[in-house]
Structure 1
Amino acid sequence: MHAHDEDRQLDGLADRLRHDDPRFAADFARGRPCRPREYRRGTAWLTLAVGLALLGAGIALGHGLLLAGGLVVSGAAGHLFDPNREQIRRGTPPPS
């Protein structure tokens, strides 16, 4: 493989990274990279906390609607923890 081919492959990888996660690519270029998108789960933890709070309130108060809402929100939070959810939504297969 020639150096020119390798440079072209690296440029392609950099372009894909900028397209997939612009925040990570910009921070990486500045020398202080943030976590890649797959590992940023702040929203997932917050959603899970709200879901569990609703679930606990539903159990404590004996209120079926709070209980059901807590189960639904907790289930949605579980989906947010999937690191490949963005790729699945775009229709690209996850890496093997």
Structure 2
Amino acid sequence: MPQSEHERLVDLAARLEREDPGFARAMRAGRPARPREYRRTGPWWGLALGMVLLGTGIALAQGLLIAAGLVLVGMAAQLVDPDPARRGRQGPGRR
């Protein structure tokens, strides 16, 4: 027997509260915030820190700093640009 619409909405609200409580509170207050999936401040800070490490390594001619900067920039760039399949986009050449 199918659930009523009210039960489905209550279930959806409870699941949303568990997954992202900040977003659920903002929706109740009438001031929606971006969901967690679209908050990307951490990767941008990682990208900036990686660029600083890379620049410092080049200025001081330190291979370890250069390598650490390159690794951190690569990791942060991967996090800044999310997986295209998750966002509904398809890669080049796919239709």
Matched, 1:81 2:77: no
Q: Which has the higher helix share?
A: 1
What's the offset of the Cα at 1:62? 2.2
The two structures have a TM-score, normalised by structure 1, of 0.73
Q: Tell me the residue number matched to 1:56.
A: 55
What's the offset of the Cα at 1:82? 6.3
Relative to structure 1, is the Cα distance of residues 32 and 7 closer, same or farther in structure 2, using a 3 angstrom cutoff? Answer: same
Q: Tell me the residue number matched to 2:92.
A: none
Q: Tell me the residue number matched to 1:10.
A: 9
- How much identity, in percent, do the aligned residues show? 51
Which consecutive residues of structure 2, in runs of 5 or more, have no partner in the other structure?
89-95
Distance 1:59 1:17 in 2: 46
The two structures have a TM-score, normalised by structure 2, of 0.73
Relative to structure 1, is the Cα distance of residues 8 and 21 closer, same or farther in structure 2, using a 3 angstrom cutoff? Answer: same
What's the offset of the Cα at 1:31? 0.5
Distance 1:45 1:38 in 2: 14
Distance 1:13 1:83 in 2: 25
> Which amino acid is 2:70 matched to?
L
Q: Tell me the residue number matched to 1:37.
A: 36
> Which amino acid is 1:61 matched to?
L
Relative to structure 1, is the Cα distance of residues 83 and 7 closer, same or farther in structure 2, using a 3 angstrom cutoff? Answer: farther
After TM superposition, the structure 1 stretch with the greater mean CA deviation from structure 2, 73-82 or 35-44, is 73-82
Q: CA RMSD in A?
A: 2.6
Report if aligned partners of 1:28, 1:34 keep a CA contact under 8 Å in 2.
yes
What's the offset of the Cα at 1:18? 0.6
